[in-house]
Amino acid sequence: MMRTPILAGNWKMHKTSAEVRAFFKEFSQRTQSNWVRADIMFAVPYTLLAVAQEAADGMATIIAQNVHFEASGAYTGEISIDQLRDLGILGSLVGHSERRQYYGETDDTVAKKVTRLTDAGMLALACVGESRAERESNQTEAVVTRQIQSIFNAAKSIDRLVIAYEPVWAIGTGLTATDEQAQAVHKLIRGLAREHFGEGSAAKLRILYGGSAKPDNIAGLMQQPDIDGGLIGGASLKPIDFAAMIDNVTQ
């Protein structure tokens, strides 16, 4: 079963409107015909969703970095699914480790967001991953299993669900997981998907790796049988790097 790879940039709290326009101008000049072999996405700050959507001009799908699970209400500073849709935005990251670490995101709030997004026919790109302490105390499997079970239980449909495995110790540190370390966790996740949704759905589920993925290590990761793409932070900020990664994945 061939799964279409996904290369997704996560711009975190970077860029202004002018920088977004400049990015896509240069990005468009690097576009290759091979790129149709991958789904290209960018998760951008709320204030840049509209300008990115316009500047990307169909070259990439623009998604949010977070969304609230309630439809509306007294939640100052939050954004709803309908408000994303209003801009033509049809997906969001959910449960990125920075949201879990700094903003109190829990398995429970992640689950609610996955339910609402998948119920609304929106893409939920849900992130999981263990901390350095958890890896060093051999809890990687237990932690990822707990996070994934919660997401799978919450998903109304697996068709609009994508998983990103991002070991926290590899994010922004330059310490990429080895191909083997990443593959072992991706295999675990696909096994859990098989138990939960059955063989056919598990074979279709796309599982991305994230954590210091770069032009020079993406190809090795992509050769692993259960790695279907990347969620890229730092190396997605410059068109030259991100284009090189897409070239690697689509060759």
221 binds ligand 13P (CB under 6 A): no
45 binds ligand 13P (CB under 6 A): no
Residue from 100, 130, 234, 250 nearest 172 by CA: 234
Q: Which stretch binds ligand 13P (CB under 6 A): 104-112, 114-122, 155-163, 209-217?
A: 209-217
The number of angstroms, rounded, from the C-alpha of 51 to the middle of its chain's C-alpha atoms is: 20
Query: Which stretches within the chain are classed as H helix?
Result: 17-30, 49-56, 81-86, 97-102, 107-119, 132-136, 140-154, 179-197, 199-204, 218-222, 239-250
10 binds ligand 13P (CB under 6 A): yes
Residue 9 corresponds to which tokens in the numbers above? 């940039």
130 binds ligand 13P (CB under 6 A): no
Residue from 146, 165, 134 nearest 107 by CA: 146
Question: 11 with 42: CB under 8 angstroms?
Answer: yes
* N- to C-terminal Cα separation, the chain: 18
Token look-up 């991958």 returns 38
Indicate the residue type of 53: Q
Token look-up 């977070």 returns 66
95 binds ligand 13P (CB under 6 A): no
The CB-nearest residue to ligand 13P is 233
Residue 244 corresponds to which tokens in the numbers above? 């090189």
Find the shortest distance in angstroms from Cβ 127 to ligand 13P.
7
Q: Which stretch binds ligand 13P (CB under 6 A): 52-60, 142-150, 200-208, 210-218?
A: 210-218
In the region spanning residues 163 to 182, those forming contacts with ligand 13P, defined by CB under 6 A, are: 166, 171-172
67 binds ligand 13P (CB under 6 A): no
91 binds ligand 13P (CB under 6 A): no
210 binds ligand 13P (CB under 6 A): yes
Find the shortest distance in angstroms from Cβ 65 to ligand 13P.
9
Residue 61: φ, ψ to 5°: -90, 130
Catalytic status, residue 96: yes
Residue 200 corresponds to which tokens in the numbers above? 């056919």
In the region spanning residues 100 to 119, those forming contacts with ligand 13P, defined by CB under 6 A, are: none
Residues in the interface with ligand 13P (CB under 6 A) total 14
Among 233, 239, 243, 245, binds ligand 13P (CB under 6 A): 233
Residue from 78, 140, 77, 147 nearest 114 by CA: 147
Nearer to ligand 13P, 130 or 202 (CB): 130
Among 41, 90, 161, 213, binds ligand 13P (CB under 6 A): 213
134 binds ligand 13P (CB under 6 A): no
Q: How far apart are CA 232 and CA 63, in angstroms?
A: 14
- The one catalytic residue in 96, 98, 105, 134 is 96
Footprint of ligand 13P (CB under 6 A): 10, 96, 166, 171-172, 210-213, 231-235
Active site amino acids: 96, 166
